[in-house]
Chain A
Amino acid sequence: MWMGLSYVCWGISVVLAAWMLYDWFKVDTTYSEETLTSSREGELEAVSEKHRI
């Protein structure tokens, strides 16, 4: 049973790693680099926090 579980673990690892690589390729070829790296730090705070005490 344990040896079987070990083979299943290898199988799951390979399948999920392949899926992530495929999705990574798909996203990077679908969206522009500007869109993907457009996140900015602290934007919600800039909108909601006025820092008036």
Chain B
Amino acid sequence: MTAAVETAQTTTIHGDRVSLLRVLGPAHVWALGVGIVLVGEFTGWNFSADKGGALAALIVCWVVGLLYTSVAMIDSEVTSTVAAAGGQYAQAKHIVGPLMAFNVALFLVFAYTMLEVSDAILLGDTIVAKAGIEGLTHNSFIAATIVVLAWLNYRGVLMTLNVNFVITAIAYVSIVILFFSVSPWTQGAVLKLNELVTPANALPYGWIGVIAAFQFGIWYYLGIEGTTQAAEEVRSPARSLPYGTMAGMITLLIAAAMTWYVCASLMPWEYLGITYYPLWDAGKLTGSPLLENLLFIATLLAALASANGCINDAARAWFSLGRDRYLPSWFSAVHPKYRTPYRSILFLLPIALAFAFIADLNQAITFSILSGVLQYTFMSINIMMFRKKWPLGSIRRGYTHPFHPLPAIVLFCLCMVTFFAIFLGFGSQLIAMTVFYFLISLWFHFYRYKFVRRGDQFSMPWPKPQGY
């Protein structure tokens, strides 16, 4: 016991308290955000071509890019001020109120856990497709992906995000190599965009197809807002979070444009819209075994990086709920040696495994997208309230986003369009999830909130909001 007390004393920051470790820099924030998202270039975005054709996939690439640029700007401003684990949950708690915060935390946990599940299924399916052996199933690869990454997260955030930085960078560079290997400056040699995308087939279902394509256009950038979950573990939140998030968004806009250009120039939209491996297929279509194998490995690495970041983020959101007693405080334990929310990581591990073994990829992706879009809708309202309650000059901000309230309005409008697109494709899931969040809100309001220590949950040393 004496040894245990000594260890505890050497691993604390604030007196005798065990806190998360502040060891991350802007590169880790970039690795977390881009790591979660980049898998969307390797699979997911291309289903928007099935909804509306190749040109629709390009239109949503830019328009959804606008949605996420708004998300990144708004998020950077608020989180550079509310620098706490839980990210948007902590923002909602301080700016809107406890019920909104509880819902936002659930959006986060669902979005990231379902994305982790999708990543693991993708990785397993990719290996099985490459092996081409009868009797080989994806289960062992799914289990290894989820358990190994949970172990990595359990052992410490610094190593977790160092690994994410390396594998994300390799996956990203593979897209750049593919892009320059197909002579993008000339048409006809390898790329045949002018033959594959013609005025006759560019928008096969007209503009309603473009609207429908929003559902999967989200995959170009889904998860970049996850950078905020690192708020309590970065050395300088006010600097690192805006810098890492905005750099990540710029990186992703470039990757999305290159990915569309190469894939739409190599595959007809009818095939592009249904394949699970657009970039790997593009590598095969170049005829180069080197590129084919590179894109195969990059697909695996992108899925790994995404699942790794998702475990990190879902665990922090769950941990924050426990710390404020929105859930049992048992979940708020921090490992005294590794300084990670180890009970939250372990609790979410079997849930992810169960979904990965029983859910199919489309269902998991849809739940992830739905939770994500609900969260973005909240963010547009949140920033309006934030600026109204604490106007510029009343509290210190690490970053102030320009053109307010234009980004919030753009974000809200594009979220509405995306909800309509999801309703067109997965209306019953949308209704089921809305009912779920409504019922869980009733449970929180009438039962759980009485356990919350109301004064303790508002931790930011801010002045009273304007009008109060």
Contacts and interface: CB of A to CB of B under 8 A. Distances in A.
- Whether A and B are associated in the same complex: the answer reads yes
Interface string B1-44: 10010001000011011111010000000000000000000000
Given A42-B459, A45-B460, A51-B463, A24 B20 contact: no
Contact of A45 (B86, B127, B151, B461): B461
B143 A41 contact: no
Contacts of A38: 16-19, 334
B333 to A, nearest CB: 4
A2 B18 contact: no
B18 A3 contact: no
A30 B17 CA distance: 16
B343 interface: yes
Contact of A44 (B22, B135, B333): B22
Contacts of A49: 396, 461
B148 A13 contact: yes
Given A41-B84, A41-B90, A45-B83, A35 B332 contact: no
Interface residues of B, number: 57
B141 interface: yes
Contacts of A40: 14, 17, 19, 323, 459
Contacts of A20: 150-151, 154, 346, 349
Given A2-B131, A12-B148, A30 B463 contact: no
Interface of A: 2-3, 5-7, 9-10, 12-13, 16-17, 19-21, 23-24, 27, 30-31, 33, 35-46, 49-51, 53
B144 interface: yes
23 contacts: A2-B136, A3-B136, A6-B140, A10-B143, A12-B147, A13-B148, A17-B349, A23-B154, A23-B342, A35-B18, A37-B332, A38-B17, A38-B334, A39-B17, A39-B334, A40-B14, A41-B86, A41-B232, A41-B320, A43-B13, A45-B83, A51-B462, A51-B463
B8 A13 contact: no
Contact of A24 (B84, B136, B346, B396): B346
B378 to A, nearest CB: 19
B133 interface: yes
Nearest to A7: B140
A52 B207 CA distance: 51
B342 A53 contact: no
The majority secondary structure among interface residues of chain A is: helix
B332 A13 contact: no
B85 interface: yes
Contacts of A16: 147-148, 150-151
Contact of B343 (A3, A24, A50, A53): A24
A30 B140 CA distance: 34
Contacts, number: 129
A25 B396 CA distance: 43
B330 interface: yes
Interface string B39-78: 0000000000000000000000000000000000000000
Contacts of B14: 40, 43
A19 B151 contact: yes
Contacts of B322: 37
Interface in B68-126: 83-86, 90
A42 B329 CA distance: 17
A43 B131 contact: no
A25 to B, nearest CB: 11
Contacts of B336: 27, 31, 35-36
Contacts of A50: 461
B17 A9 contact: no
User: Considering the complex of A and B, which 10 residue pairs feature the smallest CB-CB distances, nearest first?
Assistant: A9-B144, A42-B459, A2-B131, A36-B333, A38-B17, A9-B140, A13-B147, A6-B140, A41-B459, A13-B143
Nearest to B135: A3
A17 B147 contact: yes
A10 to B, nearest CB: 5
Nearest to B90: A41
Interface string B307-339: 000000000000010111000011011111100
Contacts of B198: none
Contacts of B333: 33, 36-37
A16 B329 CA distance: 26
Contact of A42 (B8, B133, B136, B460): B460
